Amino acid sequence: MPTEADRLLIESALAYAGGTHTVDDVLAMIAEGRCQLWRGPNAAVVTEIDEYPREKVLHFFLAAGDMKELEAMQDGIMAWGIERGCTKARFVGRRGWQRTFMARTGWRDTRYIIMEKSLNG
């Protein structure tokens, strides 16, 4: 069961997610087993597995908190994804993540961009 601290960390990550989810949406997805909550004492990660016709991708959906803890958590999360047949991990986030541990731990910038346009006028 997510704690109040988990809720606050998820909420802080969602502030940069473009309004696609609320904290309650994410907590419901975790409760339903569609997403996974990974906790550290001062950090949290939410993952989901995206299934495509030719591969499964471990999507790091939300991450917030202490960077050292987030770095320490990644290997265990990745091992869990491998056990479930994932062949790749993916993270979509702000450009600032490029200046964190991610660059030195094997994450690479794909140079793909995400573009968005409102359809509501």
pLDDT in tens, 75-112: 999 999 999 999 999 998 877 788 888 888 988 888 87
Crossing angle of helices 4-14 and 23-31, rounded to 10°: 120
Structural domain of 80: 4-104
42: DSSP letter: T
Q: pLDDT for 4-63, tens place per residue?
A: 999 999 999 999 888 899 999 999 999 999 999 999 999 999 999 999 999 999 999 999
Q: Is residue 116 part of a domain?
A: no
Q: Is residue 109 part of a domain?
A: no
Q: Other C-beta atoms within 10 Å of 89: how many?
A: 17
pLDDT value at residue 96: 79
- How many domains does one find in the chain? 1
Give the H/E segment covering residue 104. helix 101-104
Q: Label residue 68 by pLDDT band (50, 70, 90).
A: very high
Strand pairing of 36-40 and 88-91? unpaired
Nearest to 13 by CA among 37, 33, 34: 37
Q: Is residue 68 part of a domain?
A: yes
pLDDT value at residue 57: 96
* Whether pLDDT at 121 is above 80: no
Q: Is residue 117 part of a domain?
A: no
pLDDT value at residue 101: 87
Q: Is residue 87 part of a domain?
A: yes
pLDDT value at residue 113: 76
Q: Is residue 115 part of a domain?
A: no
Nearest to 89 by CA among 56, 44, 43: 56
Q: Is residue 110 part of a domain?
A: no
Q: What is the CATH number of the domain that holds 9?
A: 3.40.630.30
